[in-house]
Amino acid sequence: MMAKNMKMRARFNDGITTVKVLMHHPMETGRRKTDDDVTIPAHFVQVVTVKLNDQVVMESQWGTGISKNPYLTFKLTNAKVGDTVSVAWEDNKGEQSESSIAVT
Amino acid sequence: MHRRQFIKALSSTLAAVWLAPKMALAAIWNKPVFETTQMTQALKDLGADLAIKSDKIQIKAPDRAENGAIVQLEIDSSLANTESIAILVEKNPTPLIATYNLVEGVAGYVVTRINMADTSDITVIVKAGGVFYKNTKNVVVLESGCG
Which DSSP string do the residues of chain A spell out, in sequence order?
--GGGEEEEEEEETTEEEEEEEE----B-S--B-TTSPBPPPB-EEEEEEEETTEEEEEEEE-TTBPSS-EEEEEESS--TT-EEEEEEEETTS-EEEEEEE--
pLDDT value at position B6? 61
Interface test with A, best of B1, B25, B88, B125 (most A CBs within 10 A): B25
- A89 interfaces chain B, CB cutoff of 8 Å: no
pLDDT value at position A3? 43
pLDDT value at position A78? 95
Chain A residues lying within 8 Å of B107, measured CB to CB: 16, 74-77
Inter-chain residue contact B115 with A64, CB threshold 8 Å: yes
This prediction's pTM: 0.87
Chain B residues lying within 8 Å of A68, measured CB to CB: 69-70
Chain A nearest-CA residue for B22 = A93
In which element (H, E) is residue B36 found?
none
pLDDT averaged over every residue in chain B: 87
| Amino acid (1-letter code) at residue B141 | V
Inter-chain residue contact A66 with B112, CB threshold 8 Å: yes
Contact between B82 and B125 under an 8 Å Cβ cutoff? The reply is no
| Amino acid (1-letter code) at residue B114 | I
Inter-chain residue contact A58 with B103, CB threshold 8 Å: yes
Chain A residues lying within 8 Å of B106, measured CB to CB: 50, 57-58, 74-77
Average pLDDT score over residue span B25-43? 87
Per-residue model confidence as pLDDT tens digits over B67-82:
999 999 999 999 999 9
CA distance B131 to A85: 29
Q: How close is the nearest chain A Cα to the Cα of B104, in Å? A: 5
Per-residue model confidence as pLDDT tens digits over A33-91:
988 999 999 999 999 999 999 999 999 999 999 999 999 999 999 999 999 999 999 99
pLDDT value at position B23? 36
pLDDT(B26) > 80: no
Q: What are B's interface residues with A at a Cβ cutoff of 8 A?
A: 1, 22-23, 25-26, 28-30, 34-35, 69-72, 74, 87, 89, 92-94, 96-107, 109-115, 145-147
pLDDT(A30) > 60: yes
Output A32-38 pairs: Cβ under 8 A, ≥24 positions apart.
Answer: A32/B147, A33/B147
pLDDT(B15) > 50: no
Chain A residues lying within 8 Å of B100, measured CB to CB: 58-60, 74
Inter-chain residue contact A56 with B89, CB threshold 8 Å: no
CA distance A98 to A6: 8
